[in-house]
Structure 1
Amino acid sequence: MKTRHLKLFNSYVPYQSENPRNLVTNKVISIMASAVYFCDSKGYPLLARRYRDDIPISAIEKFPTLLSDLEEETNLVPPCLSYNGMQYLFIQHNDVYLVAIANSMSANAAQIFAFLYKLVDVLGNYLKTVEEESIRDNFVIIYELLDETMDYGIPQITETKMLKQYITQKSFKLVKAAKKKRNAARPPEALTNSVSWRSADIKYKKNEAFLDIIESINMLMTQKGQILRSEIIGEVKVKSRLSGMPDLKLGINDKGIFSKHMDDDSLNNEGASVASSTTDKKKNNIELEDLKFHQCVRLSKFETEKIITFIPPDGDFELMNYRLSTSIKPLIWCDMNIQVHSQSRIEIHCRAKAQIKKKSTATNVQIIIPVPEDADTPEFKYSHGSIKYVPEKNVIIWKIRSFPGGKEYSMSAQMQLPSIGNIEEHKAKRPVQIKFQIPYFTTSGIQVKYLKINEPKLQYKSYPWVRYITQSGDDYTIRLT
């Protein structure tokens, strides 16, 4: 009897392909879901796929009642419900519920929820919008996807790139790529291969791999320069244009960011985020909050040697991301001074400084300064860049295309206030927002030591490219009050 292996959260789970009921491994039983249902906004089933016969067909009929009873009692409905020995685990997306039913308290809830969210992503790529109407119009496609993404309650292939090789959509009908050769049709190799995210027949004339390390800085500062909150959100993105089945080895000089003693509980992949261990704050003053890897990364290799080895998916994907809570100085700092005169006018003075190394240059800098809603007739003076008033957003935007490290620029603005009121009322309460990019630079000090590419069969020459970018995050602001 042939044995197939599936890669789940970086571990291999064996099962018998001819008779799945022969499963006896405790790890497998603990993650099984007996059925998956799509229900409308009231909890009534639209579509169902039963993977095991250990729950009654009528099990889903109790779900609408349980849902309505909880909604009457509280506004916060827990995502796990238990009734008559059955566990209902569900998520809500638009006007539908995705419900997984298990018959044991030992079911791995985190695994089931990860599968349900991934299923929504897969359906979104096929249906564009996952809602009740689109589900009713695409029963055939959804049934096929449910069959391929889960088998006997165990998650299988959930990579959209692989599913689209043999399941396509046309006029709400399922079309198989091997339709003309049904007698000789076989599933793609990725289904029987442990590398479920990549096909082996990929070919390129020029083999290249592009690696981008992007760090976004979120920071909240006071007008006097005090740092109230700061964090670094890092992403390592890869664009793979490599033939065959390449094996990549990435060495990172992390400046002590990643602990050398991480255990298996502090790392996760398949998009599951887990709080990780921290480094010695006295030495590095850096705390690693979250570390997340793509499923292709071999976690054991990283834990022991701090080397990232993986077989990449084809095209663009996020290899890893991390979040660091650390005290850093502002890279772009603005000294703000706002004066409101009794003669119904407001003056704004801003001195900006690039507090980065002289060899570095910030680009596309935008300093967004809020102004009162009734301000008008702006007059500007500035030493560099360009300034414009955006009345629909009640802001002044100062743009500096190139801002070398160590440089200082200044601007001043005067605007009329038609109505005379309390001076404090006219002072802007919204913060100043700063946007920027700094190429060839990382705040955390993370660097790529090497990126080795090896394809054992083709033995081609490859060309890796590495790029660093530091940029402002969604919350890089200066509080004015």
Structure 2
Amino acid sequence: KTLSREERAMLSQFFILSTRGDTIIKRDFRFDLGKQTSEIFFRKVKFWPGDPPPSFNVDGVNYFFTKKFGIYFVATSKTNVAPSAIMDIIYRMMKIFRDYCGVLNEESIRKNFVLIYEIIDEVIDYGHAQLVTTENIRQFIVNEPVLIQPKTQAKKQSSSWRPKFFKSSTVASTAIQKPIQKLDAKKTKTNEIFVDIFEKLTILFNANGMVINAAIDGVIQMKSYLIGNPELRLVLNNDLTVGRTSTGERGSVTLDDCNFHECVDTRDFEAMKTVTINPPDGEFLVMNYRINGEYSAPFRLYPFIDEESGYRLKFTVKVRAQFPQ
């Protein structure tokens, strides 16, 4: 049987809910579901025993969701679609929202609801994903974002205490939380690009505090505000190697695995440890990498268990930093 366009349609609805169950944004693409889907979803998730799965079915309706920044991003469908495909669309839409609003939370979505609806209409057409990157939809977006000002209390806290090693020229950590703009060379005084390196450490200790297994999952993330998106070059360590080899020199940086964004040209990576980047609009991950094996852990854990009675145990975990003095 050949499926019609209507039967092949992926999404029926997309909506954003607060943790209280309030509907902040809701767009119905095909009008094949009732108006109570958001209430049914929230009631189901609220009273789910334990943590609800990212996708489930209620009365023939498939629900797909993720909870980030204190809000629910939900998509529904009546057809039997791949959950991974729907979740990918949801995460791509979240990234676009963040690129345009600067920061993604309930306040920014409420104040930029007109812009959010405009983005949704450009990304999804009758349930089908069309343009799912910031760069592709930028020429079609005409509404300007409403900037979210930092809280007064946060300003007082940041100005009342400041470490000595932060100089007056240090850029605030919230500088990256501004929306992308249609850069005009006449109006824009400075070009900016933000590069962040995030690493997640997973370490397994034994009872004596010694490391049994350790791994590092890292990303190099960029957000560009450069006029005209010029070509960039990123130079990495000369002693960087990918893959475990017996000839690896002591002290060299060895990655077990890595991958790059589609905008990265890796032709000079093997020979010169240099990559060329044509940065797209908005935030993107330049590189993902993983390191397994022995490395100096930044801290150690020492667990202690005391049996106070026949039915009561006391657990004490001590953390000792390994940073040099």
Instruction: Give TM-score, length-normalised by structure 2.
Output: 0.55
Q: Which residue of 1 aligns with 2:319?
A: 431
Which runs of structure 2 are paired with 1:230-245 in the superposition (5 Å)? Answer: 230-236=214-220, 244=228
Identity within the alignment, % = 27
Residue 145 of structure 2 aligns to a residue in which SS?
strand
- 1:284-320 CA distance string (max 9 Å, x none): 7x7736x4543523699999xx985542236986411
Q: Residues 255 and 289 of structure 2 are in contact (CA less than 8 Å); yes or no, is this contact kept in structure 1?
A: no
Output the aligned Cα RMSD: 5.5
Greater shift, 316-325 or 162-171, is seen at 162-171
Find the aligned partners of 2:147 and 2:201 in 1 and give their Cα distance.
45
Q: Show structure 1 runs of 5+ residues with no match.
A: 1-21, 173-196, 258-278, 333-366, 371-427, 437-481
Give 1:80 deviation, angstroms: 1.2
Alignment of 1:151 onto 2:125: yes
Aligned length: 265
Among 79, 91, 94, which residue is 1:104 paired with?
Answer: 79
Among 283, 286, 303, which residue is 1:319 paired with?
Answer: 286
More helix by share: 2
Q: Residues 13 and 75 of structure 2 are in contact (CA less than 8 Å); yes or no, is this contact kept in structure 1?
A: yes
- 1:324-370 CA distance string (max 9 Å, x none): 11223x399xxxxxxxxxxxxxxxxxxxxxxxxxxxxxxxxxx99x9
Kindly name which structure, 1 or 2, has the bigger radius of gyration based on alpha carbons. 1
- 1:153-193 CA distance string (max 9 Å, x none): 30525439948974313599xxxxxxxxxxxxxxxxxxxxx
Find the aligned partners of 2:45 and 2:184 in 1 and give their Cα distance.
51
Residue 75 of structure 1 aligns to a residue in which SS?
coil
Find the aligned partners of 1:205 and 1:150 in 2 and give their Cα distance.
35
Find the aligned partners of 1:98 and 1:246 in 2 and give their Cα distance.
34
Which runs of structure 2 are paired with 1:124-273 in the superposition (5 Å)? Answer: 124=98, 126=101, 128=103, 130-131=105-106, 135=109, 138-152=112-126, 153-159=128-134, 162=138, 166-170=142-146, 226-236=210-220, 244=228, 246-247=230-231, 256-257=241-242
Q: Which residue of 2 aligns with 1:296?
A: 263
Find the aligned partners of 2:182 and 2:103 in 1 and give their Cα distance.
24
Q: Residues 123 and 130 of structure 1 are in contact (CA less than 8 Å); yes or no, is this contact kept in structure 2?
A: no
Find the aligned partners of 2:192 and 2:185 in 1 and give their Cα distance.
13
Q: Show structure 2 runs of 5+ residues with no match.
A: 149-179, 249-253, 303-315
Matched letter for residue 16 of structure 2 = F
Residue 431 of structure 1 aligns to a residue in which SS?
strand
- 1:194-238 CA distance string (max 9 Å, x none): xxx998987999999998888787767789894334334444456
Among 3, 9, 12, which residue is 1:34 paired with?
Answer: 12
Q: Which residue of 1 aligns with 2:49?
A: 74
- 1:107-148 CA distance string (max 9 Å, x none): 4x22322332343454456285633x7655543232122223
Find the aligned partners of 2:102 and 2:196 in 1 and give their Cα distance.
31
Find the aligned partners of 1:165 and 1:216 in 2 and give their Cα distance.
35
Alpha carbons of structure 1 residues 44 and 321: separation in structure 2 relative to 1, 3 Å: same
Among 17, 27, 47, which residue is 2:25 paired with?
Answer: 47
Q: Residues 120 and 130 of structure 1 are in contact (CA less than 8 Å); yes or no, is this contact kept in structure 2?
A: no
Find the aligned partners of 2:218 and 2:87 in 1 and give their Cα distance.
25
Q: Which residue of 2 aligns with 1:119?
A: 93
Q: Residues 162 and 198 of structure 1 are in contact (CA less than 8 Å); yes or no, is this contact kept in structure 2?
A: no
Q: Which residue of 1 aligns with 2:156?
A: none
More strand by share: 1
Alpha carbons of structure 1 residues 224 and 242: separation in structure 2 relative to 1, 3 Å: same
